[in-house]
Amino acid sequence: MGEEARQWVAVTVLVFRGDRMLSMKRASTQGAGPGLWEGVSGRVRAGEDPVAAAHREVIEETGLRVKIQARPVTAYAALRGGEPMTVIVFAAEHQGGEVAISEEHEACRWCELAELSALGVPAQLVDAARKAWPAG
């Protein structure tokens, strides 16, 4: 058997506030996906529970208080720098605070569903947002 390639595992958190979702624009200095609009995301550390990773990333990248749904919305395969990555997507409800952008991002905005594609949010993430979008 041949040696298997490294497999990254990442989480993306779709943070909802009312009928809008937080979109974050990756800084142009980022090695992976510079300028890409996305949800709150990051890699899962070795041995870290994915829900714990989701909470950690939200705090590190936004400073917001959120309630994360323990059951993922979806998961999908992607590439990070040419290497395979599994992305686990969680939905979260904004509980308080204002966004304090980390150095990983250069902008953020609270978007309606229709705005996500126009911003260039990856199709797999737009599909996940559609599934998770709060009713009403």
**pLDDT tens per residue across span 25-51:** 999 887 677 888 999 999 999 999 999
Question: Residue 107 is inside which H or E element, if any?
Answer: strand 105-111
Assigned token pair, 88: 């686990």
Specify the number of domains making up the chain: 1
pLDDT exceeds 90 at position 24: yes
- Residue 2: inside a domain: no
DSSP-assigned beta bridge partners for residue 88: 11, 75
- Residue 3: inside a domain: no
- Give the residue carrying structure tokens 């947002």: 129
The CATH number for 113's domain is: 3.90.79.10
Beta strands in 18-99 (DSSP E): 20-26, 37-38, 40-43, 65-68, 74-80, 83-96
Q: How far apart are the C-alpha atoms of 136 and 29, rounded to whole Å?
A: 38
Residue 21: predicted pLDDT: 97
Task: Give residue 55's domain range.
Answer: 8-132
Q: How far apart are the C-alpha atoms of 48 and 5, rounded to whole Å?
A: 20
pTM of the model: 0.92
